[in-house]
Structure 1
Amino acid sequence: MKNSAPHKVLFVVFPQIKLLDLAGPLQVFADAVDDNGIAVYRTEVVSIDGQYVKTDTPVSIATEAMKSWANEQIDTLIVVGGNGARAAALNPHVVDGVLRLAEKADRIASVCTGAFVLAACGLLDGRRAVTHWQSCDALSREHPCVLVETDPIYVKAENVWTSAGVTAGIDMALAMVAEDIGRTASLSLARELVSYVVRPGGQSQFSSTLDRQILDETGRFESLHEWIANNIDKDLRVDVLAERANMSPRNFARLYTQQTGRTPAKAVEGIRMEAARRSLEESDLSVSEVARQCGFGDDERMRRSFIRLLHVSPSDYRQRFATGHMTASGDLLGTQ
């Protein structure tokens, strides 16, 4: 950090914010201390009128008025998201207030749909940005000058950061702490918060496991998916899976595709990819060993899957996302 004075972090809220969009990142900054146990950040919450602001829960938030910060230098300005974000983005008083604060901020950010407010201010024009996956299309449609990414947990574009939905705001805040006072302090803070600090921004905001559960609404193949995940290094051709499901290969392939919207082969590849990504992030195994243990057979076959599905090689993926190589860059696939 530039000096020993507390780094000022200002959160902008409005009616019907999502409480966790505020509470998660706020807790990260509030708990951050230096080697002497002294608070690194000074956190404040502001709104247009400085009154209590209703959230999407029974909890209301005490705030200061934006105008009280008119002459203050701000280190980090964060606009929170929630159901009220779209209305806030259309409110000229909110937009003007955020713009005035942004002029005095060294770092600007949004959590979840707070990106709509930054976009309305023109602060995302020409920049890569992300929001909750359900709102990415709307953000792109309503603000065509914004380069919307649909997949990352968070994106850093110069001094402007945006995060995906809800808990991704915690990941973004931890990355900011790492940038400010070092990765060791961020890791320590994450352990204290029982958080997963090593989720770099380029990692997907989608859960492959949850995705399978959603596609398989009846849960018919849930036990099969679990068995595949526990046997990814085995022969997982259709006839093997069909036998496991007590079905004929032809009937199994037809019903599985009909039920989940993907072929058994694509499902197996997805589960193997998920395991390979986790291994590359968390282990010191060679790429060839990861490929073998995850059932790809050889590293070239795994490389082709990574290039096709993630647009990056396994080696590059490890370099950018491995626990020991955490970066605060936050751009898609770790690039800036």
Structure 2
Amino acid sequence: MRTVGVVLCEGIRPFDYGVITEVWGVPRPACPGFELWRCGEAPVALQHGVTIAPDRPLNALTECDLVVVPGRVDALAPVSDAVLEALRAAHEAGVPIASLCAGAFVLGAAGLLDGRRAVTHWALTDALAERYPAARVQPDVLFAEDGGIWTSAGTAAGIDLCLHLVRQACGAAVANSIARRMVTAAHREGGQAQFVEHPVPVAATAQSAVADTLEWARHHLAEPLSVADLARRSGTAPRTFARHFTQLTGTTPAHWLIRQRVAEAQRLLETTDLAVEQVAARTGFGTATMLRRHFARVVGVPPTSYRRTFAGSSPNP
């Protein structure tokens, strides 16, 4: 991934445009030389008096390695035929297309969500499903992919998707480096259901206990941790800990541990010459077979293939 095209259309959200620019438009010597193209028909006015002028026409989207559509302030506002046609042409040319938050409505208007899984901000999921009934709207996940079309949930989930796309193309170390510069999590667990207002919020003391336990667990991944171990560390009963954990993170302790171990395995595969068996031991999987099984399920490729692609890609923080 080298050239990323951001679609400029009326009413795009400054936050979404800022996220895209921060991930792909800020030069960082330690990271690959991304080139961000601002593709549009004419200058567009954002909120608060900001105007952005395109530096490429819309037909340049077909030459990009990735196209990103920011969300818009009014999700239901009409989209110009030129933008919709340019998005369809990019998709037909095989270019992956991603939308942030309400940008899913732009993809829907272009017909790119028909028959595909899609997600948007939890407050807009019903509207998306009603307006584009052929889309398979997912109400809970932070982002989804289907047939080269990526969509993300609201606001901060756009950061999650952008970093995930960098991780896929450039490896975990590059994505982690960008995340550190942005002072954000390189990967968040769970779905957006955890952010919907709940009638019975988790107590602050429970939040602190879970957060402290997660930080401790990240430094003890090589140990054979269980939910009971984590609960004991937090000073709560296993069922109580699991309930608070899921409320706060949107996922289970067991799933969280697997993802953390896979992330650490990615780091070791990129930055060390350790054998797969040694990586398995250091990440708590125990055996190379278990590492391969979980790694392939989460990342999509075996550890050896991942190493061949990304070894030596670790940038300085």
| TM-score between both structures, scaled by the size of structure 1 | 0.66
- Hey, what does 1:61 align to over in structure 2? 52
Write out aligned runs for 1:175-324 (5 A).
175-200=164-189, 202-204=190-192, 206-207=194-195, 211=197, 225-230=203-208, 284=221, 286-287=225-226, 288-298=228-238, 314-320=253-259, 323-324=263-264
Q: Secondary structure at the match of 1:165?
A: coil
Equivalent AA in structure 1 for residue 204 of structure 2: E
Report the Cα offset of residue 78 of structure 1: 1.0
**Pairing 1:142–2:142 present:** no
SS of the aligned residue for 2:128 comes to helix
User: Are the aligned partners of 1:320 and 1:334 in contact in 2 as well (CA < 8 Å)?
Assistant: yes
Structure 2: gaps of 5 or more residues? 268-296, 301-317
Pick from 54, 65, 76 the counterpart of residue 75 of structure 1.
Answer: 65
Q: Residue 162 of structure 1 aligns to a residue in which SS?
A: strand
* C-alpha distance 289-165 of structure 1, shift in aligned 2 (>3 A): same
Q: Equivalent residue for 1:8?
A: 3
In 2, Cα distance between the equivalents of 1:184 and 1:118? 31
| Displacement of 1:293 | 3.0
Provide the rounded CA distance (Å) in 2 between the counterparts of 1:326 and 1:121: 36
Separation of aligned partners in 2, 1:79 and 1:59: 18
Within 2, Cα distance between the matches of 1:228 and 1:312?
A: 16
Of the three residues 11, 14, 33, the one matched with 1:19 is: 14
Provide the aligned C-alpha RMSD in A: 3.7
**% identical aligned pairs:** 27
Match of 2:106 among 108, 117, 121: 117
For the Cα contact (< 8 Å) 1:21–1:169, is it kept in 2? yes
Given that residues 19 and 158 in structure 2 are in contact (C-alpha distance below 8 angstroms), is that contact kept between their aligned partners in structure 1?
A: yes
Partners of 1:276 and 1:326 in 2: how far apart? 22
Q: SS where residue 86 of structure 1 aligns?
A: coil
Partner of 1:155: 144
- Corresponding position of 1:248: none
Distance between the aligned counterparts of 2:264 and 2:136, measured in 1? 30
2:35 paired residue number: 42
Q: Point out the structure with max Rg over C-alpha.
A: 1
Deviations 1:245-294 (A, max 9, x none): xxxxxxxxxxxxxxxxxxxxxxxxxxx6x777777677637122112234
- Which residue identity lines up with residue 33 of structure 2 in the other structure? V
Structure 1 position 54, deviation (Å)? 0.7
2:117–2:144 Cα contact (<8 Å) kept:
yes
User: TM-score, with normalisation over the residues of structure 2?
Assistant: 0.70
Quote the offset at 1:309 in angstroms: 10
Aligned length: 267
| Aligned position for 2:26 | 31
| Alpha-carbon distance in 1 for matches of 2:139, 2:216 | 24
Indicate the SS of the match to 2:144. Answer: strand
Rounded to whole Å, the distance in 1 between the matches of 2:8 and 2:64 is: 16
Q: 1:99 to 1:282 in 2, by over 3 A?
A: farther
Give me the whole-angstrom Cα distance separating, in 2, the residues matched to 1:24 and 1:307.
Answer: 27
Q: 1:187 to 1:311 in 2, by over 3 A?
A: closer
Amino acid corresponding to residue 140 of structure 1 in structure 2 = A
Shift of 1:308: 11
- Deviation string 1:183-221 (CA, Å, 9 cap, x unpaired) is 111111111221211225x4436448xx46xx58xxxxx
Change (3 A) 1:183 1:82: same
Q: Secondary structure at the match of 1:46?
A: strand
- CA shift, 1:164, in A, is 1.4
| Aligned equivalent of 1:268 | none
Identify unmatched segments of 5+ residues in structure 1.
2-6, 217-221, 233-271, 328-332
SS in 2 for 1:112: coil
Partner of 1:52: 43
Rounded Cα–Cα distance in structure 2 between residues aligned with 1:93 and 1:108 = 16
